[in-house]
Amino acid sequence: MERYKIIETISDQEYGTIAKAINLQNKQKYIVKILRKKFYTWQECIQVREVKALRLFSHPNIIKIKELIKQRDELICVYEYYEKSLFDYYQEMRDLCDEFSERQIKEIMFQIISAIAYMHDQKFFHRDLCPETISVNTYSSDLQISSNIQVKISSFTVTREISQRFAPYTDYITTRWYRAPEQLVHSNNYTHKVDIWAIGCILAELYLMGPLFNGISEQDQLLRIMKVFGTPSQQDCPDLFTYASHMKFQFPQMNPTNLSQIFPNASTEALDFMKQIFKYNPIHRPSCDQLLKHPFFFELNVQSLPMYNTPSNIIQKMQKKQDFEEYYESIKEQADPEKNSAEKENQTDLQNSQKKSKFSQNLIHPKQENDEFTPINGDDNQQQFSHFFQKHLEQNQEQGQNDLENRSNYQVSEITSMDNTGKNQDFTPSS
């Protein structure tokens, strides 16, 4: 820790202290978290829930862990730098009597949802999404051309794996204002759909420049939700009523409020987006992938977002290693016409069409500058697409394969460790 100098304390919480620091060697700024718990072995360090998760994750909208330092019995996690939280960011705007445009809200929410979609695909859910756990960096840019706000999900202290063997989960976990109804009635069998509810609360907060449901207790929180969305149906949500009865809470009859009265500046698409999210029954809430396809994002220029500034993201968006291997083999075959015969031409076209359809469902592909694919009629369409995609694969094949393989062995090359003598050692995570 001698290489780092604390320049500002961000927060001092029960589990540890978070601060901004500067590396005295490279003069770069970082975020450091000094955990209060005592750690006596490296094995204990790498079993920390947040460390395990961040060693697995690799997404442009998820904060990266750069280094682990074990100093005596103390563990210090070093993360990439961010300027402020989303909460601090909009508070500063509100103090200046400013507010987000709907375009900025779309850009922020698309990045948040993309990161959570990635987490859910990796079989993890966050459980504590709120503006305080989302970091923000701003960039100088022409707002007519590109976004100047990059957001990243941070604070994975209570992140858990999505698995029945880990259930039941702790019922009292997230910040009250962002808890889903099933958490408010102390259900311990909730699912990753609690993240979807929290996403809706964050979206509403960006429009209002303040929380939508700021209850002072769990019962008050439920009442505030019902004032907006009405009383839930017992037929639709039997579990919700069962758990509520254990709390001796009865749902009063309330009618829903017209959302346009609460969000006068929101578009029709935004209002429908919220209605889809705020479902009492978690089964009826959409997935993150479905949210990203909602008309709310149709006019968003995804290419302008900071998360899509490198061609390598075309590989990162593949959901399964098998998709990559199968699709890459099909592209290689198309690129080599000597391997194709006239007898197999129709069958190959059909197979590749099916694979492209499957691939496109899992891929959010921003066009790169001077690198556009414009479909044309006839057989040249297949060849043109092959050359277009082959170029990206050649540039990113090695990186993409390494990333996909690392998902199984939990390796992150950027993490190093420091022993008690102050000497750097290569950090070798367990498999």
DSSP class per residue in 268-336:
HHHHHHHHHH--SSGGGSPPHHHHHTSGGGTT--GGGSGGGSSTTHHHHT-S-HHHHHHHHHHHHHHH-
Residues 77, 32: contact at Cβ < 8 Å? yes
Task: Say if strands 16-23 and 74-80 run parallel, antiparallel, or are unpaired.
Answer: unpaired
Is a pLDDT exceeding 60 seen at residue 403? no
Per-range mean pLDDT, top range of 2-16, 275-289, 405-419:
275-289
What integer is the mean pLDDT of 377-402?
Answer: 46
Higher-confidence position of 411 and 318: 318
The average confidence (pLDDT) of the chain is: 76
Instruction: Give the range among 206-210, 226-230, 370-374 with minimum mean pLDDT.
Output: 370-374
Token match 């989302």: residue? Answer: 134
Residue-wise burial string across 343-380, b where 16 or more C-beta atoms lie within 10 A, e elsewhere:
eeeeebeeebeebbeebeeebbbbebeeeeeeeeeeee
Instruction: Please list the active-site residues.
Output: 128
pLDDT at 363 over 60: no
Two tokens, residue 325: 């291997």
Query: Does residue 282 surpass a pLDDT of 90?
Result: yes
Q: Which of 20-24, 85-89, 386-390 has the lowest mean pLDDT?
A: 386-390
Residue 368 pairs in a beta bridge with 371
- Reported as a pLDDT band with limits 50, 70 and 90, residue 353 is low
Helix H or strand E segment including 416: strand 416-418
Domains defined for the chain, CATH in brackets: 4-81 (3.30.200.20), 84-307 (1.10.510.10), 311-408 (no CATH)
Whether the ω angle into residue 168 lies within 30 degrees of 0, i.e. cis, is yes
Greater confidence (124 vs 339) lies with 124
User: pLDDT band at residue 306, thresholds of 50, 70 and 90?
Assistant: confident
The structure's pTM equals 0.70
- Cβ–Cβ under 8 Å, residues 187 and 148: no
**Residue bearing the bigger pLDDT, 355 or 100:** 100
pLDDT of residue 304: 75
Residue 279 has pLDDT above 80, yes or no: yes
For residue 384, the model assigns a pLDDT of 46
- For CA atoms 62, 63, 66, 69, give the dihedral sign: negative
- Tens digits of per-residue pLDDT, 54-99? 988 999 999 999 999 988 888 999 999 999 999 999 999 999 999 9
| Whole-number pLDDT of residue 232 | 92
CA-closest candidate to residue 209, choices 332, 94, 68: 94
